Structure 1
């Protein structure tokens, strides 16, 4: 009389799993299929980690560049003279920890040695601007003239106007010449050249002094075209600032000025995640096929185990854990390979990129904990679902039918 095996016999389940994991000379394709499933999941996790790291790193790099050149917060007037020294003083009293830089702005035509280029000219307080804009702080020179400009590297190159050279700026305002008028023009000395890493900004933006605007364009002293504000937590503080602002001004965050751009990047990131997750999904099919082939080739062994007292739960546990082992091993191997790949990309300059397009010459890789968690969660769900069906199929094996056919 056969002794019935207890349902909690973990040693029995463990030994059978070890036996099925070994290479079977009579059925080599089963082992190969399991190996392909392992490699497919490992490759999928590795590619997902590296791809999501690159996407997130690129997004952060663009954010960092745009954050500097667009400023965390900007106050704009709805009515003329709405942004003035009185408003700035109120803001300083209510929010003394913030940094403020008022500005004038206008469009100009820059000309030098026959080269002509349209530009956006800002009139700023050099010291206040340097306090909130590290790129400008690094570029500004020591020229004391009020008619000085700090321009982007791209514009400086096109104008052939390095630091110390002079350029002519043409304004839209008219000045009287004899019996007619012509656009207002003035020679400015190049006080410095900045490099933001974004070509569009480096070719279009220039900074000059507030005094130059007040002198040339008759701007009223103490009344500005806008106010740039530096805040470490602009998302949290924008609503607090709104509560004390008058109705004739509006406040914008840098994320609102570039909302479409970052929405597109976020959508691309999600689409890439789903597409690459299909690699793991395809690899999981090999787990299903491998386990089903194991079930079919071991039908007589399963029937024998059932007749010796093994329960359906134990049979189901054997094949379910077998699938989990193959999938989990692939996931762990993929995590290690992905971590190694990210380390190599961040340590060595293997892939270089055009800096004027991407803002950096080094491939930015930054895999966040949330992205990694989603990768592990998605892979785990696919592995669990892949192991369920073959395990259920194995537990439904009828020992009487199998042994009678044998």
Structure 2
């Protein structure tokens, strides 16, 4: 009886841990992809070495794909100078009216206003690190050089800090900056062309080949998932490895089912032999032990599912676990159990329970009737 209870609770706790762990992994994965998606844009168009992106191409793209939003940009690597040090970053020159249509973070930061001249939008991480206030001057050091006497010195321009954004990831909050494209062109002495075009699409995977076909071989078009393919592959591999490791917990718990049923078979050899002698078929004996094993394992699975959903409800509604928001992007533990993971977990656990019940049931049919009843 004790061994069967241990088997029941082992399957229950193992399945609960597996479901909660998969929900947490999915939650972090989904939350991370959403934050990555916001600052990486669904699609990006970039010219190849023998082509240029200009206003005429943007006009043709908007005529051909009226359901998409296009935000052309220029960019340059810069160094922001504060009172306490320096911070490297990437400065984008954009049309803010177009950028707000495709970037929710920029839209939320600017709301009903636009930046002009030498105003700059910076991340909250950089603002806090340099202890800046709105309307403060932020010196930006550019990579292009200006001649001065007998030496070349980097070009420096002071921008007015007018707004700040918070993406949820400190990497972007400290590195990304946005300025008006006309002002950045003046500083860089840049021609009337663009470095690339950010594209917003609700179905980026379907629109990617259409844009590629329209632009031809002169331009490269890629999606945000292609830019970070290695990272997302690593996350998926980690999720699969976690699933396999935690499934082993259920496998270990199911060994209690095997041991408890084998103990019953050993202790009840005479009763089994008597049933077989009285005409019970081996299939009926096997079925009875198999049913007992599945009842133990199946009951543990049902209890484990209930316990898992109860645990996820508690974790989702109460701040039992608080995360550092600057590291994980949110202070709340993300939970998202997909239907496919739930069904895969149930199928895997059911197979383990079935195999654990089958072996003792088979051993019960192999009892030697004469040998078992000889001393009775």
TM range (shorter): over 0.9
Give the TM-score taking structure 1 as reference length.
Answer: 0.89
C-alpha displacement of 1:201: 0.9
C-alpha displacement of 1:60: 0.4
CA distance in 1: counterparts of 2:79 and 2:366, whole angstroms: 81
CA distance in 2: counterparts of 1:117 and 1:239, whole angstroms: 38
CA distance in 2: counterparts of 1:319 and 1:179, whole angstroms: 93
CA RMSD in angstroms, aligned pairs only: 1.6
Asked which structure has the greater CA Rg, the reply is: 1
Question: What is residue 164 of structure 1 aligned with on the other side?
Answer: 135
The one of 191, 201, 214 equivalent to 2:185 is: 214
Residue 281, structure 1, aligned to residue 251, structure 2: yes
Matches within 5 A, 1:317-356: 317-356=287-326
Question: What is residue 157 of structure 2 aligned with on the other side?
Answer: 186
Residue 125, structure 1, aligned to residue 113, structure 2: no
The one of 15, 36, 43 equivalent to 1:73 is: 43
Q: For the Cα contact (< 8 Å) 2:97–2:114, is it kept in 1?
A: no
CA distance in 1: counterparts of 2:367 and 2:76, whole angstroms: 81
Question: What is residue 312 of structure 1 aligned with on the other side?
Answer: 282
The one of 112, 116, 123 equivalent to 2:82 is: 112
Q: For the Cα contact (< 8 Å) 2:51–2:219, is it kept in 1?
A: no
CA distance in 2: counterparts of 1:353 and 1:289, whole angstroms: 42
Q: For the Cα contact (< 8 Å) 2:80–2:87, is it kept in 1?
A: yes
Q: For the Cα contact (< 8 Å) 1:299–1:402, is it kept in 2?
A: yes
CA-to-partner distance for each residue in 1:128-183, whole Å, 9 max, x for gaps? 11111111111127365311111111111122222221111121223355676532
Q: For the Cα contact (< 8 Å) 2:74–2:196, is it kept in 1?
A: yes
Question: What is residue 42 of structure 1 aligned with on the other side?
Answer: 12
Structure 2 unpaired stretches of 5+: none
Structure 1 unpaired stretches of 5+: 1-30
CA-to-partner distance for each residue in 1:92-142, whole Å, 9 max, x for gaps? 222111111110100112123353222210001111111111111111273
Residue 384, structure 1, aligned to residue 354, structure 2: yes
The one of 202, 218, 222 equivalent to 1:248 is: 218
CA distance in 2: counterparts of 1:250 and 1:205, whole angstroms: 23
Q: For the Cα contact (< 8 Å) 2:115–2:179, is it kept in 1?
A: no
Question: What is residue 268 of structure 1 aligned with on the other side?
Answer: 238
CA distance in 2: counterparts of 1:195 and 1:69, whole angstroms: 11
User: Tell me, what secondary structure is at the counterpart of 1:243?
Assistant: helix
User: Tell me, what secondary structure is at the counterpart of 2:336?
Assistant: coil
Matches within 5 A, 1:21-100: 31-79=1-49, 82-100=52-70
**Bigger Cα displacement from structure 2, 238-247 vs 359-368:** 238-247
The one of 219, 226, 231 equivalent to 2:196 is: 226
Q: For the Cα contact (< 8 Å) 1:76–1:251, is it kept in 2?
A: yes
CA distance in 2: counterparts of 1:144 and 1:295, whole angstroms: 81
Q: For the Cα contact (< 8 Å) 2:141–2:156, is it kept in 1?
A: yes
User: Tell me, what secondary structure is at the counterpart of 1:83?
Assistant: coil
CA distance in 2: counterparts of 1:103 and 1:278, whole angstroms: 51
CA distance in 2: counterparts of 1:144 and 1:263, whole angstroms: 38
Aligned pairs, number: 375
CA distance in 2: counterparts of 1:179 and 1:51, whole angstroms: 63
CA distance in 1: counterparts of 2:181 and 2:50, whole angstroms: 17
C-alpha displacement of 1:248: 2.5
Give the TM-score taking structure 2 as reference length.
Answer: 0.96
